Amino acid sequence: MTLTTGIMVGGIYALVALGWVLIYKCSGVLNLAMGELTLIGAYVTISFYSWGVPFVLSILCTLLVGIILGILVERIFLDKLIGEPILAVIMVTVGISYFFKGIIEFIWGTDIRVFTPPVFSLKPFSIGFLKISTVYFWSFVLAIVLFLVFVAFFKYTRWGLSMQATADDETAALSLGVSARFVYAASWAIAFMSAGVGGALLGNINGVTVSVGYLGLLVLPAVVLGGLNSVPGAIVGGLLIGVLQNFAGTYLDAYFPGGVKDVFPFAFMTVFLLFMPYGIWGWVKIERM
């Protein structure tokens, strides 16, 4: 049960990790506002659901809101920073995170909210010798479906190929007529979409509260382990962190009470980076003199 639950949660982490990876690949920026992007998605989805919109349509509405917010954030806060030092852009994302957190608390407050009626049953079902919680299973399935949709977008559409080209070689992409402004706006839009849906799925499991934003930041170890610029690494890293987190909660909480479940992924990431500083599939920079 611990292993299967970890894998199910890891699938959601992988979806959120895609947003981290995409922005880093396209702009080299580590977006520290991803936790708040995750939180916004959770609150938007539960708001639509409470208004009587079916859950799947609520997810689609969240995707649409994510596109709009992603483009607005990039245009208002980040468009003027193209070509500026990376540290300046990262600090702007920190400011954006606090800005969104204030907006969220102003609109929705800080009380926990739950999906009423529940979207998925909490009762587990069995597949052979495995017991799987229904809510974890369907959240995992939806996360993987959306992840595959995003990957197909990158691989088979003109816009997705433009984003890949910019990520691989921005100068060459610009010389071929690819708009860097479009690519950055699209990367933020997709980051909002993936993080938002991930937040909705996490909120469907545990209820929606400001702690969902912390779960969005918990994906950072998954991104670092997999490689900051690797989409396959986001999958592996997400699944790995989900499993590690659940095993730590099951077997270590009894000996180290006080939230070891949430701390352990960061501790593991620290040790892991001592041996593989670029992650599993990260790009290794080689400089020749």
- pLDDT (0 to 100) of residue 229: 79
Whether residue 232 is preceded by a cis peptide bond, meaning omega within 30 degrees of 0, is no
pLDDT tens, 177-210?
A: 777 778 888 888 888 898 889 889 888 888 888 8
CB 70 within 8 A of CB 193: yes
Return the higher-pLDDT residue of 287 and 5: 5
Report residue 259's pLDDT band, with 50, 70 and 90 as the boundaries: confident
DSSP codes of every residue in 156-169: HSHHHHHHHHHHH-
Report residue 47's pLDDT band, with 50, 70 and 90 as the boundaries: very high
CB 38 within 8 A of CB 259: no
pLDDT tens, 262-272?
A: 888 898 999 99
Report residue 285's pLDDT band, with 50, 70 and 90 as the boundaries: low
What tokens were used for 76?
């208002």
Amino acid at position 230, single letter: S
CB 223 within 8 A of CB 47: no
Report residue 260's pLDDT band, with 50, 70 and 90 as the boundaries: confident
- d(Cα 193, Cα 15) in Å, to the nearest integer? 10
What tokens were used for 179?
């708009």
- Pairing of the two strands 130-133 and 124-127: antiparallel
Res 172 pLDDT > 90: no
pLDDT tens, 52-69?
A: 999 999 999 999 999 999
Terminal CA-CA length for the chain: 53
How far is residue 232 from each of residues 106, 140, 159, 237, measured CA to CA in Å? 37, 17, 20, 9
Kind and range of the H or E run holding 195: helix 180-206
Q: Which of 113-117, 121-125, 132-136, 257-261 has the highest mean pLDDT?
A: 113-117
Res 163 pLDDT > 90: no
Give the least confident one: 95-109, 202-216, 262-276: 202-216
For the chain, give the percent of residues with pLDDT over 90.
16
CATH number for the segment(s) 2-275: 1.10.3470
- pLDDT (0 to 100) of residue 284: 62
Q: Which of 36-45, 216-225, 274-283 has the highest mean pLDDT?
A: 36-45
User: Mean pLDDT over residues 152-172, rounded?
Assistant: 78
User: Mean pLDDT over residues 86-109, rounded?
Assistant: 89
CB 156 within 8 A of CB 29: no
CB neighbours of 94 closer than 8 A, spacing ≥ 6? 32, 33
Over the chain, what is the mean pLDDT?
84
Q: Which of 171-185, 202-216, 237-251, 253-267 has the highest mean pLDDT?
A: 237-251
Res 89 pLDDT > 80: yes
